[in-house]
Amino acid sequence: MAKEEIKTYIYRDDLTGEIVEEDDFQTVEFSYGGDHYTIDLGVNSAKKLDDFLAPYIDKASKAYTRYYGSPKSPTPKAGKSRPGARAWAEEQGHVQKGGRGRLSNDVLAKYDEAHA
């Protein structure tokens, strides 16, 4: 008997928390007050955002950003692999279940301490 691993991805609207179909899901990038943001939205939430911003966009002028050199994104640090860290952190209540992104150094330190 062969063993097969199947991964399932769930797309969730960051604003409403609703699960949306992959085809109805989009990541929206925007800037405000000098800060840059991304948010994952379903079609309905994206439409609401578009409708809300439309009068402001109509009156605004487009700004262009100049980059000198490479964009300032953090360089990933070489570290040891911790494949079970997220699952452990979720079980311990250190992060939200289904969360995304990098685990904080504090959470990784707690994981290392628990598995030393």
Query: In this structure, what are the phi and psi dihedrals at residue 82, rounded to the nearest 5 degrees?
Result: -130, 75
Q: Comparing 98 with 36, which gets the higher pLDDT?
A: 36
> 46: domain range?
9-72
Indicate if 92 and 57 belong to the same structural domain: no
Q: Is the pLDDT of residue 100 over 90?
A: no
CATH number of the domain bearing residue 41: 3.30.60.230
pLDDT of residue 68: 60
- Whether residue 4 lies inside any domain: the answer is no
Rounded mean pLDDT, 77-89: 71
Rounded mean pLDDT, 2-20: 91
Indicate if 15 and 42 belong to the same structural domain: yes
Cα(40)–Cα(18) distance, integer angstroms: 11
Indicate if 68 and 85 belong to the same structural domain: no
Indicate if 85 and 52 belong to the same structural domain: no
pLDDT of residue 73: 56
Indicate if 68 and 84 belong to the same structural domain: no
pTM above 0.75, yes or no: no
Total number of domains in the chain: 2
Indicate if 14 and 43 belong to the same structural domain: yes
- Whether residue 2 lies inside any domain: the answer is no
Q: What is the pLDDT of residues 30-74, one digit of tens each?
A: 888 888 999 999 999 999 999 999 999 999 998 876 656 555 555
pLDDT of residue 46: 94
- CA angle centred on 36, ends 32 and 37, rounded to 5°: 95
Buried b / exposed e across 45-57, counting CB within 10 Å, b at 16+? bbeeeeeeeeeee
pLDDT of residue 54: 94
Indicate if 57 and 85 belong to the same structural domain: no
- Whether residue 3 lies inside any domain: the answer is no
Q: Is the pLDDT of residue 79 over 70?
A: no
